Amino acid sequence: MPEGERDRPSSPSRLPGVRPAARLSCALLLAACVAPLPAPAAAPKARPTVELTPFAGFRFGGGFDESGTENRLTLDSAMSFGGIVSFRVGPTSWLEVAYSRQDSEVAAPPSAGPRTIDVKVEYLSGGGLYEFSLDDFRPFLAASVGATRFSSDDPGTSSTTNLAFGLSGGFKYEVVRNLRLRFEGRLWFTVTESGSAALCRDGSCVLVFGASGFWQGDVLAGVSLAF
């Protein structure tokens, strides 16, 4: 071999004692060290803790007795409206405050002549709600206690307030994160004393409560804004 070729340095690929497999392992290790670390997973979004639900519905049932007789006077079915404020107290539990109102009328007893009497029935209650979470579809059950107020637009007519209890069931449907639809059926029971005054005017009580209490049902739909 010529003398110039004997003095030429060997190429790195031909260094003695370094195998191709070892060089590949070193390259992979270096790439792993300089590769960017994965971004941390995003924290789950907090659940809404407050819901505001305006609603409208249809209320039926309820009636009175004519004072001094056994005539039964039925309250006309009519639209109802109101609102609910809900506060989350657990993953599936809520505390709620609700108000609702019905503007209705009842046919006046024969002794009062051929006319109707305006009757407003208002409920103010507080209670709890438990929902069964099925992703966007959430059935629920609820119970409440509060008060029922009976009043009238007739001049000189006094109002009456009684203890009330409510039971309800329905479901919520989450349209987007902060917007839900709420559909509900509710049963109201107002504690009354047989023969006690319901609506009185000028010292005369035209309508009195019967012996079985005052029962009403509500079917309602609302839109909930969640925060």
Count other Cβ atoms within 10 Å, centred on residue 13: 8
- Of 83, 79, 117, nearest to 98 (Cα)? 83
Q: Cβ distance 92 to 133 under 8 Å?
A: yes
The per-residue pLDDT for 121 is 98
Count other Cβ atoms within 10 Å, centred on residue 177: 10
Between CA 173 and CA 95 the distance in angstroms is: 19
Count other Cβ atoms within 10 Å, centred on residue 112: 16
The per-residue pLDDT for 201 is 82
The tens place of each residue's pLDDT in the chain, 227 residues long, gives 555 555 555 444 454 555 665 565 655 555 555 555 555 555 556 788 999 999 999 999 999 988 777 678 899 999 999 999 999 999 999 999 999 999 999 987 666 565 788 999 999 999 999 999 888 999 999 999 999 999 998 888 889 999 999 999 999 999 998 999 999 999 999 999 988 989 888 778 878 998 779 999 999 999 999 99
Residues 6+ apart with CB under 8 A from 44: none
The per-residue pLDDT for 43 is 52
DSSP 3-71: HHHHHSPPPGGG-TT--HHHHHHHHHHHHHHHSPPPPPPPPPPPPP-EEEEEEEEEEE--EEEETTS--
The per-residue pLDDT for 114 is 57
The per-residue pLDDT for 203 is 76
Reduced to 3 DSSP states, what percent helix, strand and coil does the chain have, rounded to the nearest 5?
10, 55, 30
The per-residue pLDDT for 26 is 59
- What does pTM read for this prediction? 0.79
Between CA 63 and CA 105 the distance in angstroms is: 10
Amino acid at 132: F
- Of 139, 129, 63, nearest to 97 (Cα)? 129
Hey, what domains does the chain have and what are their CATH numbers?
50-226 (2.40.160.20)
The per-residue pLDDT for 129 is 99
State the DSSP code for 157.
Answer: B
Between CA 173 and CA 139 the distance in angstroms is: 9
